[in-house]
């Protein structure tokens, strides 16, 4: 098996492992609807970092408001965060470059829930090609009536997703 094939399979295995851990955590949460999202997303960020970073010097810093959201919406946010972090690890920090990825989730006064994933890597193009992960993100954003934008940060890349806050 080639090195590229092995690395692709390792990436898929890591994604599946993180998603399995995410679902295990949700199973132990309150089944009556609302779930506190802070611990869930913070643990997810730690899982993804452990799965993808290896010995790479990349720090993931979650800053999550302690909001209560419906379980299916929390799952969608979890999958989106997983894919955004995976993309940042894959593309923002080539050649074991050091860096930081910030993940923020907050409610704005405009009654919107805002998810931001921002890295200080090599940057991104608004017209970057979309792969399977980006397609999954876009489908979940649309399912929950959200809007997504990708823009250059200085340095790095910023993805901003806005959802109407009628989700909880």
pLDDT in tens, 49-107: 888 877 788 999 999 999 988 888 998 999 999 999 989 998 999 888 899 999 999 99
Q: If you write DSSP's letter for every residue of 68-110 in order, what string do you get?
A: EEEHHHHHHHHHHHHHHHHHHHHHTSGGG--EEEEEEEEE-TT
By residue range, what is the domain housing residue 25?
3-164
CA 50, 21, 60, 126: dihedral to nearest 10 degrees?
110
Q: What is the pLDDT of residues 38-52, one digit of tens each?
A: 988 999 999 888 888
Q: How many domains does the chain have?
A: 1
Contact 91, 124 (CB under 8 A): yes
What predicted TM-score, i.e. pTM, was given to this entire model? 0.81
- Domain of 73, CATH number, reads 3.30.565.10
């Amino acid at each position: 098996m080639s090195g590229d094939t092995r690395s692709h399979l390792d990436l898929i295995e890591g994604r599946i492992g993180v998603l399995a851990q995410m679902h295990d955590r949700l199973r132990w949460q309150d089944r009556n609807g609302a779930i506190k999202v802070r611990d869930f997303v913070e643990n997810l960020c730690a899982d993804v970092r452990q799965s993808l970073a290896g010995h790479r010097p990349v720090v993931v810093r979650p800053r999550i408001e302690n909001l209560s959201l419906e379980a299916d919406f929390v799952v969608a946010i979890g999958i989106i965060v997983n894919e955004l972090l995976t993309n940042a690890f894959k593309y923002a920090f080539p050649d074991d470059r050091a860096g930081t990825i910030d993940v923020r989730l907050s409610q704005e006064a405009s009654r919107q829930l805002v998810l931001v994933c921002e890295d200080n890597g090599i940057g991104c193009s608004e017209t970057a090609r979309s792969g399977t992960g980006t397609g999954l993100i876009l489908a979940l954003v649309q399912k929950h009536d959200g809007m997504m934008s990708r823009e250059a940060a200085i340095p790095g890349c910023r993805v901003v997703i806005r959802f109407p806050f009628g989700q909880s």
